[in-house]
Amino acid sequence: MTNVKEHKNITCTFCGALCDNIEVEVENNQIKKLRNVCAISRKKYEHALEDRTVPMINGQKSDYQSVITKAAEILKNSKNPLIYGLSSTTAEGQKNAVKLAELSGANIDSTSSVCHGPGTMAKQLVGMVTATLGEIKNRSDLMLFWGANPVEAHPNHSKRYSILAEGLFKKNRSEREIIAFDVRKTPTAKMADHYVELEPGKDFELLMALRLLINGKELNSEKDEIAGVKITEIKEIAEKLKNAKYGSIFYGMGLTMTGAKYMNTWAAMSLIRDLNSYGRFVMMPMRGHGNVAGSEITMAWQTGYPFAVNFSRAYPRYNPGEYTAVDLLANKEVDAAFIIASDPAANLPHQAAAFLKEIPTIVLDPHWNLTTDLADVIIPSAIKGITATGTVYRMDHVPLHLRSFLEDQWPDDAEAVSRIGELIENA
C-alpha cells in the first residue's frame, strides 16, 4: 500500500523571497511531486537528501556526540574564535549561536557582511523607508531595480511580489512602470520598460544627481552626462520618480559591492527620503540567502548590532572592517572557526577562505560543500524547511514558521549549537 502525503504552503528557504506556497507530494520519505517551485528550488528539493554530511573528525568518520564534544573543546581552547555563516539557518539557530559566541568570547559575523551588510550600515546612518512585499505588490506603480537581478537570483520574485504579480490595486504588468539600473543588461533589465546602463562604480554619482534634481537644483557636466547617462535622461527619470504615486526600489549587490559600498546605499536611502515629499516611495534590499535578514534581526535583538560583533570582552562590540569575517581571516586574527550553514571556501575571497586551512575549523551543515573539504570537524544537521522546523525572516522582515515534511536522522542546527554551548558552560 502506498502512503502518499500532500503538503501545502511549504516555505522554500533558498533565497530571501521565502516563497511559502510550495506544494510537495511525499511517498516513503521521498519527494515525488513539486508545485510552485522555481528553477533553483526544484533542484534544491530534488537534491535535498543527497550528498549529506556525516560526523567526521580529522577526515575520519566519527559519531554525533564526539563531534559535538570536539567542537566544544576547540572553541573553549581558542583565544579568539570566529563564528560565521548563519544566513541559511533558523532564527533559533542564530540565537543559540550568539549565546555560544558570548560563552566562548568569539567574533560572530554573518554572510550579510559580504552581501547587504553595507546597506545595513547605511540604514544606521540615515534610516530606510520600507514596506512589506505585499504592500509593494498591491500598490507600487513605479518599480526600480537597481543593481539587482531577481530573475536569476530570486526567480519567483517577479511573479509573486513585483513585475508580474497580481496585486489588489495594481493588477498586472501594464499597471506598473519598471526601470532597471545596471552595468549590464541582465534578464531583469530585459523585462523593464526602461533600462539605464550606468558606468561601473558610478551609482553614487547618479543617485546624487537624481537627489539634486528632486531638490530643485541644476545639474552641470562638461560631458553632458553623469555616470555615463545623458543629463536629459536623468531629468526624465527624476520627473518619473516625482510623479510616482507609490514608488519602490529593489536594490541588489550592484549597490553594496561597488566602489562607494555603504555610501551608495546611503545615497539611495537619502533619495527615497527626499522622494517621500512627493508621493510614497519605499526601498527593499533583495536579500540573497533565505534567512540572512533573520541573521541581522536576531543579532540585533540579541546584541544590539546586526553583524560584525566581538565578544572578547564579554560584552558585544561592533566594528565592520575589523570584526567582519573577510578581515578577521585575511588578517589572520582568529585561531579557530565555527562555520554554520555557509560555504566560505566558495564565497569568500580566496586568501581569506584559505586561512581556514591553517586553524581548527568546524562546519555545521547538512550537505558537503567546498568548506567541508577544509574542515577538521564536520557536524551533520537536519535541513531547514525540509527535515527541520524553525523561524525565518523574509527580505521584508516578515517572519515565517518552517514546517518539516521529511524525516531525518540528525538534529537541527539550533540543537547542535546549543549542545556545544552547554558543554562549554558546564565545563
Partner 1 sequence: MLKNKSFTLITGRTIKQGMASVSGKKNEGYKKETAYVEISKEILKKYNLEEDEKIILESDSGQVEVRCKGAELSDKIVFMPYGKTANKLIGTDTGGTGMPNSKSKVVKIKRKEEKAN
Q: Which residues bind partner 1 (CB under 8 A)?
A: 14, 39-41, 43-44, 46-47, 50-51, 109, 113-114, 117-118, 121, 149, 151-153, 155, 183-185, 187, 197, 199-201, 253-254, 256-259, 261-262, 288, 307-308, 320-321, 324-327, 329-330, 343, 345-353, 367-370, 373
Cell of 65: 556526540
Closest CA to 248 of 228, 227, 276, 267: 276
Residues 38-97, interacting with ligand SF4 (CB under 6 A): 38, 40-41
- DSSP category for residue 87: T
Q: Which of partner 1, ligand SF4, none does residue 19 bind (CB under 5 to 8 Å by kind)?
A: ligand SF4
Cell of 272: 527615497
Q: Which of partner 1, ligand SF4, none does residue 325 bind (CB under 5 to 8 Å by kind)?
A: partner 1
Residues 150-169, interacting with ligand SF4 (CB under 6 A): 154-157
Considering only residues 37, 100, 180, 238, which one is a binding residue for ligand SF4 as defined by CB under 6 A? 37
Q: Which of partner 1, ligand SF4, none does residue 17 bind (CB under 5 to 8 Å by kind)?
A: ligand SF4
Q: How far is the CB of 342 from ligand SF4 (least distance, A)?
A: 17
Side by side, which strands form the sheet with 30-35?
4-10, 22-27, 30-35
Parallel, antiparallel or unpaired: strands 142-146 and 177-182: parallel
* Cβ neighbours for 318, distance < 8 A, ≥ 6 positions apart: 303, 304, 305, 308, 309, 310
Considering only the stretches 32-40, 206-214, 240-248, 303-311, report the one whose residues sit in contact with ligand SF4 under the rule CB under 6 A.
32-40
For ligand SF4, the closer of residues 159 and 317 by Cβ is 159
For partner 1, the closer of residues 114 and 297 by Cβ is 114
For partner 1, the closer of residues 130 and 188 by Cβ is 188
- DSSP category for residue 199: -
* Cβ neighbours for 49, distance < 8 A, ≥ 6 positions apart: 29, 30, 406
Residue 334 CA to residue 244 CA, distance in Å, equals 49
Closest CA to 372 of 146, 55, 129: 55
Interface with ligand SF4, residue 17, by CB under 6 A: yes
CA distances from 65 to 68, 83, 89, 380 (A): 5, 20, 21, 11
For partner 1, the closer of residues 103 and 260 by Cβ is 260
Q: How far is the CB of 314 from ligand SF4 (least distance, A)?
A: 38
Q: Which residues bind ligand SF4 (CB under 6 A)?
A: 12, 14-15, 17-19, 37-38, 40-41, 154-157
